[in-house]
Structure 1
Amino acid sequence: MNNDLLNGFKPHPEEIELHYKQQGIWDNQPIWELIARNAQDLPDRCAVRDLSHQLTYAELLKEADLIAAGLLAKGFNTGERVVFQWSNQVSFATTLLGIFRAGLVPVMSLPAHRQNEICHFAQLSGASVYITSGVEGDASRLSMIKQIAEQAKTLRGIYSADDMDPFDPLPKGEDDFTPPSTDPDAPALFLVSGGTTGLPKLIPRSHNDYRYNIACAASACELQSNEAYLAVLPAAHNFPLGCPGILGTLAMGGQVVFTRDASPDQCFELIERFGVTATALVPALAQVWTAATAWEAMDLSSLHLLQVGGSKLAKSDAQAVMAAFPDALQQVFGMAEGLVCYTHLGDTDETIVTTQGRPMSPLDELRVVDDFGQDVVAGQEGELLTRGPYTLRGYYRAEIHNRRAFTPDGFYRSGDRVRIQPDGNIVVTGRIKDVVNRGGETFACDEIEEHLLAHPNILQAAVLPMPDTALGERVGAAIVCNGKVPTLQTLRSFLIERGLATFKLPEHLHVRSSLPMTPVGKIDKKKILEIEGESRTNIAY
């Protein structure tokens, strides 16, 4: 074990860990064992497929072990971190499983992340390796990787799946491979936070807590061994990865169908062709799919679980989804930091369309507090605080931020405003943190503001969420300029050059002579949103 891995990792208190193990909640096994056991029990069953590839469980494990052996042969050691950026395809599963089997720890970055985020992840985690498959049609990818190679000083290896890249291909070793021993209490992977302040934080998930997460999710969704799960959302997200998602499906012995095209044309064809039984969408995609059922003639009758989460699903949209996909809708409210809530397929229609479900584990602890941190009266609205056996006790190497994000007794401050009904179901009513939730991608406003203020002609900047019927929210920017005012397009180009992820780029621009201030001297974003009739520039998507 690379002891540096534990530097900056905050585990659960020892007495609580011991209790979880004595109760059998944590089973002291590595994540990869969930899949490896099926390679023995179900070797010839299809495990993963996309439009050009498919692998049985035995083939999946064999391919993963070649990758694991290759990484270890390159001199990387158990516990070293890997920034893993891969698109939705069969090789996502083989590469991730290979990283796990080698005892390395993946940082689950998204295809949309650029050098700004990738370098941050590498520096913060101390990553030794960057492994990437790229995104089809991304002309700037090669330039991005070269910048990462120059800026990320901890990296000793960069491996690419693209044969045209001037980087080494993913190394592969010998067939005969035995995985090294793994500490089940240590981080198994790092999920990426939505970014509530500044750049995204790293969320350490141990083998024990994430296995429990997967098991609870599979149980709450009544997942069966014959499931066919369609991975539509970026696979590195917690939602499609382990809630129950890809890992839950493979743990049950089902098959995962990967797609990089989320359109109903493509996905409906896959549902019919492979008998897809379950998938997960964000509300914006659910709206598009629902509308498409009016003219698409594909047979979607196999689909019995349609999860919708990432941001709140409006009641009218939920009703439309239920009508288009009868008896399939499941609302999901959760966070990569831990807590996940589900409505259940046996719930009343009213519960499914008006709530975001209830916690998936009986050991999840919830508090709802007011602005002073005091518990509110049952049923009243307040900020949700949570802790439990699969909720982190601290972001990785973020001691200062952790003092604000956690209570002294270990409750995580979610930043979500909720009320809890007498039956235990949660209704999300809003958000406390200064973030934008664009189609399920949540990120901090102040990160984008910092980049905007780097523009030579911008004196003040405020980034704020703009309501949008399709995506929930889009990115708005209000600026005060000195000199030539940039257009929205030139501003977006400026931010792309600075390495900002494309989903964080402003889509509405408000140019003002001054920005309203609060009595304590902060920019009053609520006041900006209230101002109507001002001139603004929009960009169509």
Structure 2
Amino acid sequence: MSDPTSMGTVPWPPEFADLYRARGYWEDTAIGDVVRAVADDHPERVAVVDGSMRLSYRDLVDRADAAAVRLRELGLEPDDRILVQLPNGWEFIVLTLACFRSGVIPVMALPAHRRHELSHLAGVSQARAIAVPRTLRDFDHEALALELVEELPDLTLVLSLDRDRPADGERVIDLAGLLAGPADAAEARQAADGMRPDPDAPACFLISGGTTGLPKLITRTHNDYVCNVRATSATAEFDADDVYLGTLPVSHNFPLGCPGVLGALFVGAKVVMLPSPEPVRAFATIEAEGVTVAAAVPAVAQRWLDHQEEVGGAQLASLRLLQVGGSRLPDEHAARVRPVLGATLQQVFGMAEGLINTTRVDDPDEAIIGTQGRPVHEADEVRVLDPLGKDVPDGTPGAIYTRGPYTPRGYYNAADHNTRAFTEDGWYGSGDIVVRRPDGNLIVHGRDKDMINRGGEKISAEEIEDLMYRLGSLELVAAVAMPDAVLGERLCVYVVPKPGRTAPSVEEVREAFDERGVAAYKFPERVEVVADLPMTKVGKINKKALREDIATRLDSSTVRS
């Protein structure tokens, strides 16, 4: 039997919780109730578009309530965890809302995750169920889910989605059937109302970027996540007339709740789901659905800019706001957004652990182009510290620390890591190095932790190094970021072979990672074989020197070519 979530969750201190509640930052409302109230006011308005599937707000909440009841009939109780690994589609939204209504806690996995990541997430969360597409991009997710059920004691249910045919019904539950409309909507609503979770209870688990080892789980409560969505909706100036395009994996915090899908549903706007940000289809969808707001990582924004310059036309006429986050957008690309795409750029710098910063729609161009914004909520506390933990003056680089009404006080079941990531008085250090300007806007200068940011997907160097050592032929390994014009960073691994052994090629490494069930975005893209690795004075591998070395090697190869 799985442990109560409260056993692994770090609560806000009572004095902070009381303050946030007294000032109205916490509304004491469950997420599902917010969407339900919008549906009551605007039942016939279109809520979700996914290809030919169009759900009104009434359809959306009725399906969610029916699914909440069916989850209970499957034996899932409030506080049970379900691993959700679904692609962008209406099914993700309905299942997530069903969880929010029933008190079942979704663990937001990514479609790119494989055995390596899924077994870890399911194990740490003690998930009882997993929701997957049957197959996606030629990978059999259902087969892997069944293997995990055999291996993990808590995991017993597989919910499988196939839009062409239902699941076999013996070992696998048909997810499409579970998400179907109710036979009696009023009865389903009454039953779902009776399951209403405590607003201070966990709403979902987001996953960390993973600076050390495998991802950690971030407990987001109904109260803090409603606060998160409300604050980011305000800075994006979301209203009922907006149409939000979801192309990034919606299980990420950015497209889910900053303000993302939930922000749109909170104000009665329309959500349009796409499985990919590929510009031809994305631009056609923007034109067809009148999309007003879209979110992108820098690599996607660059592709959109290049495509629009190449093809021209007025497909983006409705787009008023392009949010870009996940990693820093180079200033030269930021300056192109308004003249090329015709939309206002909103830079977004934040973390699934809480704090979100954005530029504002009415900021001057120099702030929109040259900064990553400022905190979205009046109660966000931010400090910029030197290596000794002292505050630095504005204009000086330092490590950012934060706390506030939607920044949790610790990772789930990670006491050792919490002592490193959080101070005793509750400040969270993300590892990002920033400069704060006198106007409060932040400029991101990088990070002080060992992490590769590949197009917005965070890769732990420690995790990669551990996987490399398992190959058995290596004496020393160091994973570092190498610069890339499209993704910002890619993954390079420096290796020193054991005496008498041969280092694996990059192709052999990628094959080995694939066999171990590692997500493809974590595959090394370059292997540098060296006789030894540079060391710091305290005997640690000098990653800074290696990053400089690979940058030099890349520059040299460019010159030679």
TM-score (norm 1): 0.96
Q: Does residue 483 of structure 2 align to residue 467 of structure 1? A: yes
1:254 lines up with 2:273 in the alignment: no
SS at match of 1:230: strand
Equivalent residue, structure 1, for 2:392: 376
Deviation at 1:33, TM superposition (A): 1.2
Is 1:167 the counterpart of 2:183? The answer is no
- C-alpha distance in 2 between matches for 1:150 and 1:453: 27
SS class of match (2:203): strand
CA contact 1:105–1:189 (8 Å) conserved in 2: yes
How far is 1:143 from its partner? 4.2
Structure 2: runs of 5 or more not aligned: none
3-state SS of paired residue (1:437): strand
* C-alpha contact 2:208 2:217 (8 A) present in aligned 1: yes
Q: Contact conserved, 2:207 with 2:352, CA < 8 A, in 1?
A: yes
Residue 68 of structure 2 aligns to a residue whose secondary structure is helix
Shift of 1:31: 0.6
Letter in 2 for 1:213: N
Contact 2:84 2:107 in 1 (8 A): yes
Letter of the structure 2 residue corresponding to residue 485 of structure 1: A
Supply the AA of the counterpart residue of 1:223. F
| C-alpha deviation, 1:378, in angstroms | 2.8
Query: What's the counterpart of residue 228 of structure 1?
Result: 243
How far 1:144 sits from its partner (Å)? 2.5
Question: Is the 1:510–1:535 contact (alpha carbons within 8 Å) kept by the matching residues of 2?
Answer: no
Identify the residue that residue 281 of structure 2 maps to in structure 1: 266
Contact 2:244 2:293 in 1 (8 A): yes
Q: Which 10-residue stretch deviates more, 129-138 or 447-456?
A: 129-138
| Residue identity opposite 1:17 in structure 2 | A
**Aligned letter for 2:408?**
L
2:293 matched to which residue of 1? 278
Displacement of 1:517? 1.9
1:37 aligns with 2:37: yes
Q: Matches of 2:391 and 2:480 in 1, distance apart?
A: 29
Shift in Å, 1:519: 2.2
Task: Give the structure 2 partner of residue 456 of structure 1.
Answer: 472
Structure 1 residues 134, 372: closer, same or farther in 2, change over 3 A? farther
Does residue 515 of structure 1 match 2:515? no
Equivalent position SS for 1:32: helix
What is the alpha-carbon distance in structure 2 between the residues aligned to residue 537 and residue 318 of structure 1? 28
Query: Does structure 1 retain, via aligned residues, the 8 Å contact 2:287–2:318?
Result: yes
Question: Does the CA contact (< 8 Å) of 2:130 and 2:145 recur in 1?
Answer: no
Residue of structure 2 equivalent to 1:136: 136
Deviations 1:96-151 (A, max 9, x none): 11122221000111111111111111111111111112563233434432332232
| Superposed displacement of residue 473, structure 1 | 0.2
Whichever structure has more helix as a proportion of its residues is 2
Tell me the SS of whatever aligns to 1:293.
helix
Q: 1:91 is matched by which residue type in structure 2?
A: E
CA contact (8 A) 1:39 1:57 kept: yes
d(CA) in 2 for partners of 1:536, 1:425: 36
What letter corresponds to residue 458 of structure 2 in structure 1?
Answer: T
Which sections of structure 1, spanning at least 5 residues, go unmatched?
none
Summarize the Cα distance change of 1:24–1:535 in structure 2 as closer, same or farther, 3 Å threshold.
closer
Shift of 1:461: 1.1
Corresponding position of 2:446: 430
Q: Is the 8 A contact 1:85 1:134 kept in 2?
A: no
Change (3 A) 1:115 1:298: farther
| Structure 2 match to 1:101 | 101
Give the Å deviation of 1:479.
1.1
Opposite residue 356 of structure 2, the aligned amino acid is V
Match of 2:61 in 1: 61
* Kept in 2: contact 1:510–1:537 (CA 8 A): no
Matched, 1:345 2:361: yes
Letter in 2 for 1:530: E
CA distance in 1, matches of 2:470, 2:525: 18
Q: Residues of 2 paired with 1:221 and 1:156: CA distance?
A: 41
SS in 1 for 2:309: coil
Which secondary structure state, in structure 2, belongs to the residue aligned with residue 185 of structure 1?
coil
Report the CA distance between 1:9 and its aligned residue: 0.5
Give the letter aligned to residue 273 of structure 1: A
SS of the residue corresponding to residue 326 of structure 2 reads coil
- For 1:112 and 1:410, the matched residues in 2 are separated by 32
Q: 1:243 aligns with which of 250, 258, 267?
A: 258
After superposition, give the CA deviation of every residue in 1:355-408 in whole Å (9 maximum; x if it has no partner).
001100011001011111111123211000000000010000000100010111
Matches within 5 A, 1:1-20: 4-20=4-20
Task: Tell me how far 1:160 sits from its aligned partner.
Answer: 0.7
Who is 2:122 aligned against? 122
Who is 1:303 aligned against? 319
**Aligned equivalents of 2:337, 2:237: Cα separation in 1:** 20
Between 525-534 and 247-256, report the one with greater CA deviation.
525-534
Residue 204 of structure 1: aligned partner: 219
Q: Distance in 2 between matches of 1:153 and 1:376?
A: 49
Please, what TM-score do these two structures have when normalized by structure 2? 0.92
**Cα contact 2:474–2:497 (8 A) shared by 1:** yes
Whether the 8 Å contact between 1:240 and 1:246 is mirrored in structure 2 is: yes
**Candidates 383, 399, 402, aligned match of 1:367:** 383
1:327–1:345 Cα contact (<8 Å) kept: no
Structure 1 residue aligned with 2:234, among 207, 215, 219?
219
The answer to whether the 8 Å contact 1:367/1:385 transfers is yes
**1:65 Cα deviation (Å)?**
1.8
